[in-house]
Amino acid sequence: MTGRSLRPLAGVLAAMAMSLTGTRVSAIALPWFVLVTTGSAAMTGLVAFCEMAPYVLVKLLAGPLVDHLGPRRVSWVAEVVSAAGAGAVALLHALDLLAFPVLLGLVALIGAARGPGDLAKEIMVPEAAERGRIPLERAAALSGVTERLAATLGPAMGGALVALAGPLVGLAVSGACFALGSVVIMWALAQAPYAGAPIPAQTPDPQNGLNPVREPGEGPVRDSAGGEGELAAGYWRRFAEGVAFLRAEPILLALTLMVAVTNLLDAAFAQVLVPVWARESGHGPAVIGLNSAVMGLAAVGGSLVAAAVAHRMRRRAVFFVAFLVAGPPRYLVLAMDAPVWMMLVVFAVSGLGGGLINPILGAILFERVPRRLLGRVNALGDSLAWAGIPLGGLMAGAAVAAAGLSPVLVVCGAAYFLTIGLTGLRREWRQMDQSRGVGSPSAPASAESSRSP
């Protein structure tokens, strides 16, 4: 190993903070913009669908390309495209040229860019941690702290900007955050030992389908005949390797499927249910930002606890308790039309639990997946976990239109609780506390040999 360097991890986390802050600001500004200009919960859900469907689809397919091209390059391009898309929405509306189909197209472009961009930054974390000689649990927790700080500052900033200056200013600030993230990636990692270069593949092996050898930074991989005609076949071969690995890891599959359901419910909550509640209750976007900021601040505390003691935790018990307090109570407190102080308490407790979840998920992924497969396996897992998110807003918008807000909130809260409780009875969850330290760069490539005992 080379000398210790904290710059790569600091640079990745800083770029992640910029990108996630921009996303959080946009998450308040964009739905509110659509809601106040159209007055339709269903159209608000449609815009959310047009952002998240490309996000999930492109992220699903991007894993082999991120492994091939290198995460730093992919991250930089994604941030530039996201910044241009967000800026175009604000500019075209200011010029009175933003027709609704154009808005849908720009939102889809932003979602398509964010998918591989988020993936690229996620898979830079373990190697950056290795350069700094930081335990994976701690690196995953620091990544969680970064995410939670963005979840605190972004909504607070977004709510204040929308309330004081309007949603277009919020979208412009979101674009600026994406642009700054691209600058941070290039500056912070340009001279660091870790540069997010393409991950070298292993020696060709006809039995396990490994890629031809190449050095970091080289051009496209050529087949054994010396041409580039097999690039498409090589892509699908790498994609199939990721699928095979994920299928052979029952704990990763179980985690992914449970999170897919809770993500769908969270998407319905954030994209439609909360904005509709804010409008019907008269609290407005400022209280949306306040609730999200309190939840995010508490989640920072949870992630800091995870950073300090995650490697000593009994993962399974902490994970399920954290999920139970992070999810259902938020839906029920809004359905009760509780006073603001009570909502803030519930959101704070939910945030504290939520701050413990992602560090555990991240550590399990980083240590179980071999480094050369990390991009494609992470892309597959994230895409499956996010598969319901594009539908969350659509389903919530239709349900609110048909049944009203309060019944939908109660049903979603109950579904959240049942998903966590029933999944926790499965035997795969016992593997959560099993031995660790598998997902190193030199870990075996086959799924069977990469399992923990």
pLDDT at position 412: 93
Query: CA 186 from chain center: how many Å?
Result: 21
Band of pLDDT at residue 311, cut at 50, 70 and 90: low
Tokens 């391009």 correspond to: 77
Q: What is the tens place of the pLDDT at every residue in 406-453? A: 999 999 999 999 998 887 777 777 677 654 444 444 333 332 223 333
Average pLDDT over residues 56-63: 82
Q: What is the tens place of the pLDDT at every residue in 178-199? A: 888 878 777 666 544 444 444 4
Average pLDDT over residues 93-118: 87
The three-state secondary structure class of 251 is: helix
pLDDT at position 291: 82
- Contact yes or no for 130/6 (Cβ under 8 A): no
Average pLDDT over residues 64-90: 84
Give 21 or 209, the one with higher predicted confidence. 21
- How big is the CA angle at 192 (ends 191 and 198), to the nearest 5 degrees? 100
pLDDT at position 190: 57
Task: Name the least confident of 126-130, 202-206, 438-442.
Answer: 202-206
pLDDT at position 295: 85
- Contact yes or no for 151/292 (Cβ under 8 A): yes
Distance in angstroms (rounded) separating the CA atoms of residues 388 and 372: 28
What is the residue-averaged pLDDT of the chain? 76
Average pLDDT over residues 135-162: 76
Distance in angstroms (rounded) separating the CA atoms of residues 393 and 396: 5
Distance in angstroms (rounded) separating the CA atoms of residues 81 and 182: 10
The tokens of 352 are what? 């504290």
What does the DSSP assignment read for 380-448? HHHHHHTTTHHHHHHHHHHHHHHH-HHHHHHHHHHHHHHHHHHHTTSGGGGGGGS------TTS-SSTG
Give 173 or 412, the one with higher predicted confidence. 412
Q: What angle separates helix 7-38 from helix 41-69, to the nearest 10 degrees?
A: 160
Distance in angstroms (rounded) separating the CA atoms of residues 247 and 421: 23
Band of pLDDT at residue 217, cut at 50, 70 and 90: very low
Query: Which domains occur in the chain, in start order?
Result: 7-199+241-450 (1.20.1250.20)
Distance in angstroms (rounded) separating the CA atoms of residues 319 and 328: 15
pLDDT at position 347: 92
pLDDT at position 328: 92
